[in-house]
Structures are given as structure tokens and as C-alpha cells.
């Protein structure tokens, strides 16, 4: 069964926009692509100093530098993607009014650009593993599936935000506050062993926490507490949430897309 020409054309458009966006992301800057690596590394150095050197939080976590770096790298993808996709429709108002194409092309292309950045940053993580002489975990073979799940979840959130932002611009500052709350409500800088058992069960229902811990478990050779360890048979719930979030985001976007041109 062949792909219709129009659909193939839009797939090509997504690919070209994503690659072009990645190439132009830091175009004209002195460090160029290095900025995609330096941003998470700067944040990592600050947080590592505060929570490991000052508060001694990392002393009880094996391979804490890598543990923290993985958390920051994966978290950065969620924040960056949701933020840029939220304004993708409004920011492309002139193009939308002049040219017809499926509007969903814009957030998908931008999310793929961020996903490429995530892959590059993960290469830095593996570079750190080599420098620190940390062995590779056999569960690394599951990492692509974890990243696909992460992309689907983030895209669902981004589609919802992008469609709602067209009509309600106040969602921008509100989302910044939500991201701050999610940052501290997700085990990025601390171990889940520090979280009270009842609260931990609620935390691990979040796809963000589940994906982050599964990503660490796939990369780090040491034992990492995952949703399966905390929730048992109920560990399927975060995956159900991922599907629901994507469906809600997609349906909301498609339902509102007809009015984008007149509301931008």
C-alpha cells in the first residue's frame, strides 16, 4: 500500500522544517551547535554544586553526576518542546493566513527539532560515561522505546498547549509556573528513596517520573527505582496516561485548527 502523494509531501515538509530548524537554531552565534550542549551542562554544574557539594544530596545516590545529568537532559526536552510548540501557531500567523497546509505540521516539526537536540545531548551523557569509566547497562536496548514514549507524551502536551494558546495567551505564564512545579515534583535532582511511600506512589503515576526513571534504569548500571518497583501491576497507568494525553492533545488541536487563521 503506497503513501498518497499529498501525505508524502507533508511528511517531507515536516522533515525539512525539522532539519532546517535544527540547523538554524543557533545560526549566527559564536558557539553554534555547542550551545545545545552548554545549556544543560551549565545547569548541571550549578545544580551539582548546590545539591551535591552544599546539601550533600547526591552522596546517597550511586553515580550521582550521571544521575543528575540524565535528569536535566531529559527534562530539558520536555520544557523546550512544550514551550516552543505552544507559540508555534501564533508565531507563524502570516504563513498560516497565506498558505494552506496541515497546521499540525508546525508543532510536529518543532518538536522533532527539539528531539534531535535531545539525541545530541544524550551523546554527551554517554561521553561522560566513558570519561567516568561507567559500564554500559544491557537495558540500554530499551532506551529507544522509552524515548519514543517520551516524544509521544510531550507532543500530546505540546499540541494541547499550542491550540489553547491561540485563544488564551495567559496560558504562557501559567505554563511557566506549572513547569517549575513539575521540576521539583519530578525526581530530577533527588532520589525517589527520599520521597515518602504514599507520595511516591502518586509521583510515579506521572509519565514524566516514570519515563525519567526508566531512562536512568536503561542507562545506569546501578539499580534505579522505577514505576514497576513502586506500582507493581499498576505501572501500566503512566502508559495509559501517555496515550490519553496524546489523544486529548491531537483531538483538541484538530478541533480548533479551523479557527486558527481568524484568531491569530
Distances (CA, A) of 180 to 79, 176, 184, 188: 10, 6, 7, 12
Residue 4: pLDDT band with limits 50, 70, 90:
low
Residue range 97-118: mean pLDDT, rounded: 90
Taking the alpha carbons at both ends of the chain, their separation in whole angstroms is: 38
Tally of CB atoms within 10 A around 227: 26
Spacing of C-alpha 152 from chain mean position: 9
pTM: 0.90
Mean pLDDT, the chain, rounded, equals: 88
pLDDT at 264: 73
pLDDT tens-place string over residues 123-133: 889 988 998 88
pLDDT at 116: 92
Cell of 152: 509521544
- The answer to whether residue 30 scores a pLDDT higher than 80 is no
pLDDT at 33: 66
pLDDT at 28: 60
Q: Which residue has the cell 514505576?
A: 227
Spacing of C-alpha 83 from chain mean position: 10
Amino acid at each position: 500500500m503506497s503513501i498518497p502523494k499529498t501525505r508524502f509531501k507533508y511528511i517531507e515538509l515536516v522533515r525539512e522544517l525539522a532539519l532546517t530548524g535544527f540547523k538554524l537554531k543557533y545560526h549566527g552565534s559564536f558557539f553554534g551547535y555547542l550551545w545545545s550542549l552548554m545549556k544543560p551542562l551549565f545547569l548541571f554544574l550549578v545544580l551539582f554544586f548546590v545539591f551535591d557539594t552544599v546539601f550533600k544530596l547526591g552522596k546517597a545516590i550511586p553515580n550521582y553526576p550521571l544521575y543528575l545529568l540524565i535528569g536535566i537532559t531529559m527534562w530539558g526536552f520536555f520544557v523546550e518542546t512544550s514551550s516552543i510548540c505552544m507559540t508555534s501557531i501564533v508565531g507563524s500567523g502570516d504563513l498560516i493566513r497565506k498558505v494552506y497546509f496541515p497546521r499540525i505540521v508546525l508543532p510536529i516539526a518543532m518538536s522533532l527539532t527539539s528531539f534531535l537536540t535531545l539525541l545530541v545531548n544524550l551523546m554527551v551523557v554517554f561521553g561522560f560515561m566513558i570519561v567516568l569509566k561507567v559500564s554500559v547497562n544491557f537495558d540500554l536496548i530499551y532506551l529507544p522505546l522509552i524515548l519514543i514514549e517520551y516524544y509521544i507524551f510531550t507532543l500530546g502536551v505540546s499540541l494541547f498547549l499550542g491550540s489553547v494558546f491561540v485563544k488564551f495567551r495567559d496560558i504562557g505564564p501559567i505554563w511557566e509556573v506549572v513547569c517549575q512545579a513539575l521540576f521539583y515534583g519530578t525526581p530530577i535532582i533527588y532520589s525517589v528513596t527520599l520521597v515518602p511511600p504514599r507520595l511516591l506512589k502518586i509521583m510515579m503515576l506521572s509519565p514524566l517520573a516514570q519515563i525519567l526513571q526508566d531512562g536512568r534504569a536503561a542507562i545506569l548500571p546501578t539499580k534505579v527505582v522505577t514505576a514497576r518497583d513502586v506500582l507493581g501491576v499498576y505501572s501500566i497507568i503512566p502508559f495509559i496516561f501517555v496515550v490519553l494525553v496524546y489523544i486529548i492533545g491531537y483531538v483538541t488541536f484538530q478541533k480548533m485548527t479551523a479557527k486558527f487563521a481568524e484568531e491569530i
